Amino acid sequence: MTIRFNNLEINNLHPQTEFEKKVFLFAKEWLSDAECVPVQTSGSTGIPKIFEIEKSKMLNSAKLTCDFLGLKKGNTALLCLPVEYISGKMMIVRAFERKLNLMIAEPLLKPLENLNSTIDFCAMTPLQVENSLHKIHHIKNLIIGGAAVSESLKIKIVQMLRQSGAQTKIYETYGMSETLSHIALKEMYPKTDNTYFTVFKNIEISQDEWGCLTIFAPMLNAEVLKTNDLVEIKNQDQFRFLGRIDNVINSGGAKIFPEQLEALVKKEISNEVVFSALNDESLGQKLVMVVEGIESEDLKNKISEIQFEKKFHKPKQIFFTEKIPRTPNGKLDRTELTKYINSKY
């Protein structure tokens, strides 16, 4: 199903699948006289909640993204994200704002299976990209969000696109429900050595007393948003993500950022990896690594050869598990994982 927003006749749409019906219902809701729409948070940083967002602010967000990527009326976009969350809703709003032709695909692990022609824009999760590498060369502008992009996935993306010779541009996103999707993008391809996110125009960034990012984007949210994300600010337009302050592990007085260690390990192995901590009488917290997958000598040897920058970055224990807990929209659930390993070990 493709919806042409340049000449949209809502009553002429005939959704067939349950997902198409959800898209249709949101489109009708958007065209209603209501000034706001309800949006559900992902629950990755707390209890999921529903809050009302002004349509005018969602349009502002859509314009920022479309302008940054140079999208034009009549361009083709693909929606393959759940419309319960801000990520899926904003794809529809961007189609409204820029009058795009919006293709609808089920938000599955392999949403590009039936894509055989070039499209101008798509937003996907890292897991969807991982399962669609052979098709991403069909996308001119791809943004990846919902979770951090692993180093191993970055390598696979670069290898695949260099082989295809595609002119695809890929960006990692930074944002949250309260910022109406992302407020900054980091180019991953063709530029591959970029570590800084670039914020959109008219968005101010700073740090609080803990070094966490604060965001002032009045066109998106009237409040100054205080995040739990520790960052390094390069200039007024760029910042580097270090890790979440609530994920920081304090082991024997040393502060450890698990996200940085995960990025290092994922350069060497393809398995999902999470650094966590066990309660420890002498250290307070003991650094451990949880690997998703079957334990093997080959995998353990690869891990043992990894050169950590500091001695206390090396995990005291390594656990293997069939499945690492995730939230309903696929993000790592660190809280549940910490509870699990502390109850089991």
d(CA 52, CA 48): 14
For domain 248-344, the CATH architecture is 2-Layer Sandwich (3.30)
User: Quick check: helix, strand or coil at residue 205?
Assistant: strand
Domain ranges in the chain are 2-244, 248-344
CATH 3.40.50.12780 fits 2-244, yes or no: yes
Query: 214 φ, ψ to 5°?
Result: -120, 145
pLDDT values of the chain reduced to their tens digit, one per residue, 345 residues: 898 998 888 878 788 899 999 999 999 999 999 999 988 765 555 556 787 899 999 999 999 999 999 999 999 999 999 998 899 999 999 999 999 999 999 999 999 999 999 999 999 999 899 999 999 999 999 999 988 887 778 889 999 999 998 889 999 999 987 888 899 999 999 999 889 999 999 999 999 999 999 999 999 988 899 999 999 999 999 999 988 898 899 998 888 999 989 988 988 888 889 999 998 888 999 999 999 999 999 999 999 999 998 999 999 999 999 999 887 766 788 888 988 888 877
d(CA 342, CA 35): 46
pTM: 0.79
Sheet containing strand 181-189, edge to edge, reads 2-4, 101-104, 76-79, 119-124, 139-144, 169-176, 181-189, 197-199, 238-244, 225-235, 212-216, 204-207
Nearest alpha carbon to residue 335 among 276, 281, 252, 285: 276
